[in-house]
Chain A
């Protein structure tokens, strides 16, 4: 995959540069609100990129991806609640907990395929939701306030909004790069091969179950990172971040942005969250517009934004 200068790649590059320069704009225009919004967008974009690894490239339709947002977030929240403030402890625990959950869920769910897989991942994520809602010690339904963000060594201070924004952005870039490398590696080829024809991949000797499970765990872990960031961003964590509609939002981001490419979900996250912001400014009942729009996207705009840009660019995607 050599990066050619197509319209799509141009826009992707422009977008990434724009994201990098956003704090400057915020500073000049005095619009701190934008910084908060885009920090959130970037964090959820990271989750969407991780979902795309299994959904777009692996063909595993997980409808429970938001569970890792909650697990990553609660790892940070619970540790902070118990007095462990160091990010060097909190974040690895968040990642490990997400990885472990993904391993268990994946090992069970990957025994099935298709609709079963959708429903099972959904059901397990809901289970996690109910379990967390039931733990009164950590706020139950009401959630858990995080009084202090994760502590790192001296120059790094997550409470500084601009610094936090850049940390999130760097992590997003890192994730995109990681996923891009993964997808184009031998491992990624096996995963994509198994999406197209699992039986054939097994026939030529690949233990696809193990490959898919590994991929599932990687995606879950990355999403756990996003959860840890989200908890730090909102200074709060509640079961609602792992509610199944949140998993639906993540799928929307991936499909809206385009499943065929690594950066697609970033387009999708920006489009969905900005759209939400704009629509909710117009009417209180904005979901009445968003719902049918989704249906229309499904019916008429295959390949999402990324596919659209590729088609306008008039070149086949590399």
Chain B
């Protein structure tokens, strides 16, 4: 038999089988979570099973991030419903103000070799650690919460081989937008993306950005092998003992191999209304923008806010541009505050939201008006995504977003980073 991919290795271990791409298995889950948009339905599905318990309370989490703090009474009631269920069952609640689920899983939970399911499509973010992490619906996650396991079809894998290093002004977001533009929004449907080659060019926060958007190519997971960078991040976060080596076998079988030279990637932007509709930032300099949003589970981390502050410090955003900053977690917020990042961004004309998903999901905190154009560091630009089907959403890196906030039009950050 040939060797195994990372996906085959983790799902074999968790199912106690010799699993290969295409097999169906039932596997033990190490962490199951939902957010406030999917959690209430998950609780109702657990109740439909006739249960009022969860299998592993300390590995079951309800994150309040999509509507945090709640803008409507219906959503406040949803929060109460999940708090009461958690109080009865011992499941954990991540309260309003703590941050976005995927960032908190990265800060506090994820480790190589884990199997993580979340009722949120961007659960694949934790693949950056060499964990098999995938988004599912409320029913799947309800079953995982109630029974500690769920069913999986083992995905085929695409190997993505990286080489070279980024040019100045180019970031992980540009890489993943470029890849999605290349293979298409369904180019990796049902597959796992497995990154290899010069992955040390990507620090942990960069890997989180890349893995976060695997689902935007249709993928089930976006997996990095674990290495010294993973080990150092875990040690810094106080869970160094959870490090283990996760890597594919040298003779693993891949459906496809794709190669990218990081030095050839340029600042990239997704245009409305699909993520794979990409262009170079420098080709879009005639696109005027009304709002810039720097935040989310894709790019609301400390390094993202730091880059934005470097570009905007001592300057002012262009007239007619609203700059919204959304730290992805309480810790990001506090560190950005103590480093002077938030002060620089607010002095430049920005406003700072509480930690959470912010306007990305269209619930509140920056809903677009008719015909308005936003440049956002989030991961999706579908019709209606930010609360108005008559708005236009462009996606970019924090550097491109900050540079564009200065000029009022989509701007290659290298123009202002001299």
Q: Do A and B bind?
A: no
Which residues does A use to contact B, with CB under 8 Å?
A: none
Which residues does B use to contact A, with CB under 8 Å?
A: none
